[in-house]
């Protein structure tokens, strides 16, 4: 009888826990602050937004489907590593909104060309696929992009407003 009660309790607790996770409000990026540097720690699935040396916010992220190691060529599903710039922004992308990362650089292109491959490109910090915003924070449970850095739609909205053009992005293993 105790085992049956325990199973029933767990079955009832799971939906409550998932609902709380989904709806629990997270810290917002401070209003009116400009982000001039973004630091990504792939192994921790975290991205930090800075103004100078001041940490403004830490985000939980998803990465490329094959996240270990530096992006080497188009289609490897890896998120690049190194120092780049936020060089573009698109309010009408296929993934809610996005901020462009200046990958590939000359070194990335030369590396891929030696292997007779394309280095690829179109690496972004983006939200969820259009019409799938309802997934919300659950997207974090799996690395699912083709090499980009994914956040929720609400998070990409605040980053889109706050990240200055040509801000530095450092991406670490």
Question: Residue 71: exposed, middle, or buried by beta-carbon count in 10 A (0-12, 13-18, 19+)?
Answer: buried
Maximum C-alpha span of the chain: 67
Q: How far is residue 33's CA from residue 84's CA, in Å, rounded to a whole number?
A: 21
CB distance 120 to 71 below 8 Å: yes
Q: Is residue 70 annotated as part of the catalytic site, yes or no?
A: no
Catalytic residue among 70, 96, 126, 139: 126
Structure tokens at 142: 């799996």
Catalytic residue among 70, 96, 139, 148: 148
| C-alpha angle 84-89-72 in degrees, rounded to nearest 5 | 40
Q: Which residues are catalytic?
A: 126, 148
């Amino acid at each position: 009888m105790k085992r049956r009660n325990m199973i029933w309790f767990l079955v009832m607790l799971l939906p409550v826990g998932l609902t709380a996770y989904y709806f629990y409000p997270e810290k917002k990026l401070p209003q009116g602050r400009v982000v001039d540097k973004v630091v990504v720690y792939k192994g921790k699935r975290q991205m930090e937004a800075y103004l100078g040396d001041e940490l403004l916010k830490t985000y939980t992220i998803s990465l490329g489907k094959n996240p270990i190691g530096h992006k080497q060529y188009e289609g490897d599903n890896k998120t690049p590593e190194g120092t780049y710039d936020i060089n573009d922004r698109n309010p009408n992308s296929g993934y809610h909104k996005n901020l462009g990362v200046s990958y590939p650089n000359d070194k990335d292109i030369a590396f891929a060309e030696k292997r007779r491959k394309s280095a690829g490109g179109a690496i972004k910090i983006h939200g969820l696929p259009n019409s799938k915003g309802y997934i919300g924070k659950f997207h974090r449970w799996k690395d699912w992009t083709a090499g980009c850095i994914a956040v929720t739609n609400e998070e990409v909205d605040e980053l889109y407003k706050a990240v200055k053009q040509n801000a530095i992005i450092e991406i670490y293993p």
